[in-house]
Structure 1
Amino acid sequence: MAHRTMAGGPTIGVRRVYDPVDPDDGLRVLVDRLWPRGITKADARLDDWAKELTPSTELRRALHGGTLTEAEFRTRYRAELDSPTAESARTALLARAGTGRVTLLTAVRDPSHSHVPILIAYLTEKT
């Protein structure tokens, strides 16, 4: 996925948590609700774990269980992101990042077909 630069804010990139750490990653933030299998906290070298910005367990299970379409998932996830808890987490993340770089980390094999693009749109639209 390409990097997105927010007007007056950070540049947001995406990588798999299993990828080697890059010195240019900036603030490394895990955006999965569950801890990724097979990686230690030391090896992940995270600066933050933004569980509040991830899809709820119920929503994730509904998508993977086939009871939600991707469009329904997108709509419901955006509604979750509009909660006060997610808004507070978003504000804190962007304040911590300043105008630097944020790398959102995920364990999913193809981040472009996951919740991550929805999260990036949310982060960049709310500035």
Structure 2
Amino acid sequence: MIQCKRAYSPADVNDGYRVLVDRLWPRNCRKEQLPLDEWLRDVAPSNELRRALKHSEIGFETFRARYQQELAARPEHWWKLLERARTGTLTLIYSAKDEQHNNAQVLAQWLEDELDRGGSPSSPVCYAGDLN
């Protein structure tokens, strides 16, 4: 199971494996106050893409499509999360204020789609045609 949770929300015993999926550490959040199993900066959107969304240079659907392209190009950054989701609860931690339109939600859907596909790991070349 994959779920998303804001970094500012209290941790829960049902969160399972907690992974911060933001490139930047959450503001006003001390490291010892945020229980995490892992911080995966590289699975987060690129700085350019993150800034474009933050500054309203692109809409969320454009952000989603571009972030999916980034994910497709770098499966080594997210592949190990699939096993966590298959065997237990995976909680993607993010700091965005918008709980519906953020990178963790896009990543969660991406991972769910990958779990539905099943099969063996694919190379970035395999994903290139899926996003066009």
Deviations 1:51-101 (A, max 9, x none): 1221100011112223222222111111001013xx112222223454111
Counterpart of 1:67 (choices 57, 71, 76) is 57
2:58 & 2:22 partners in 1: Cα distance?
Answer: 19
Please identify, of 96-105 and 46-55, the stretch whose mean Cα deviation from structure 2 is larger: 96-105
Match of residue 106 from structure 1: 94
Segments of 4+ moved more than 3 angstroms: none
Match of residue 30 from structure 2: 40
Give the AA of the match of 1:119: L
Identity of aligned residues (%): 41
Deviations 1:82-126 (A, max 9, x none): 013xx1122222234541111111111222121222111110111
Considering fraction of residues, name the structure with more helix: 2
Counterpart of 2:10 (choices 2, 20, 34) is 20
Report SS of the residue matched to 1:113: coil
Give the total of aligned pairs.
Answer: 115
Match of residue 106 from structure 2: 118
Deviations 1:11-50 (A, max 9, x none): 1111111111111111011111110011122211110112
Match of residue 92 from structure 1: 80
Give the TM-score, by structure 2 length. 0.79
Match of residue 5 from structure 1: none
